[in-house]
Amino acid sequence: MVFRKLMAAFGAGVEVDTVLTDSGVRPGGTLRGVVHFRGGGADYKVEGIYLDLTAVVEVERGDEEYKTSYGFLRQQVAGTFQLAAGAQHSQPFEIVIPWETPISAIGGHPLHGMRLGVQTELALAGAMDKGDLDPLFVNPLPAQEHVIAALDRLGFGFKKADLERGTLRGSTMPFFQEIEYYAGGQWRRHFNELELTFIAGPRQMDVILEADKRGGFLTSSHDAYNRFTVRYDDHPGTVDQALQHALEQMARRRGWL
């Protein structure tokens, strides 16, 4: 275990180590782990231990762009207790991951541009102290995997992924994920790049596509949009057809659909 000292400002020297049983989960799944903590040089009354699911988000404000951390789920894993000097304790926990949690790993590999984590907070002496961000790898749902694999088969090449501040229609999150692709195959004639966003729920998800369309000799480039719904019990062929239809519509039309 790698203990990290918290509450140094109070001279408490309480040390905490959060260990995830499996750092790779899916949206809607359960994250399990254990918080290990060890007392400092004196007895202390701990008022609570909390875990925050945190994401690093890009924020645009005018011409300025910067990254900041957003906590999107907070759960208390331990209440008030007395922590004796030098004593060690462990507190297991279970956290249900929100359905709209962004993807941060595909095929067991971290998704470039994404940073999700679990942050441990200790309440002591009426104040909170946060530990470091322990990486959290969220794998796609089977339906999300299918859409991603279908884009790969169509020749789209992964570019990067990030989180943008803002709330989309049908979403409850203060940010949304964009998985960016270079256009490939037959679609290279129509698009420069494609952005993919999922809004997942318990039984279905919305798939949002935004493409930077190529401009012709007499036309300027512009963006095209499409949005469709995938139910988790849909046949894979139905999903492929919906994706193909969405791309074809975007290639034909201009502006918002």
- This prediction's pTM: 0.86
User: For residue 218, what pLDDT is reported?
Assistant: 37
Q: Which residue has the tokens 């709209």?
A: 100
List pLDDT tens digits, range 41-87: 778 788 888 999 999 998 887 778 888 899 999 999 988 888 888 88
- Are 3 and 19 in contact by the 8 Å Cβ rule? The answer is no
CA dist., res. 157 & res. 182, Å (int):
5
**Tokens 């480039």 -> residue:** 221
Phi, psi angles (nearest 5°) of residue 152: -65, -45
More confident residue, 8 or 38: 38
DSSP state, residue 138 = E
Position 111 scores a pLDDT of: 94
- Domains of the chain (ranges plus CATH)? 4-138 (2.60.40.640), 142-252 (no CATH)
Q: Is the pLDDT of residue 125 over 90?
A: no
Q: Confidence band (pLDDT; 50, 70, 90) for 219?
A: very low
C-alpha–C-alpha distance, residues 37 and 154, integer Å: 50
According to DSSP, residue 232 is labeled T
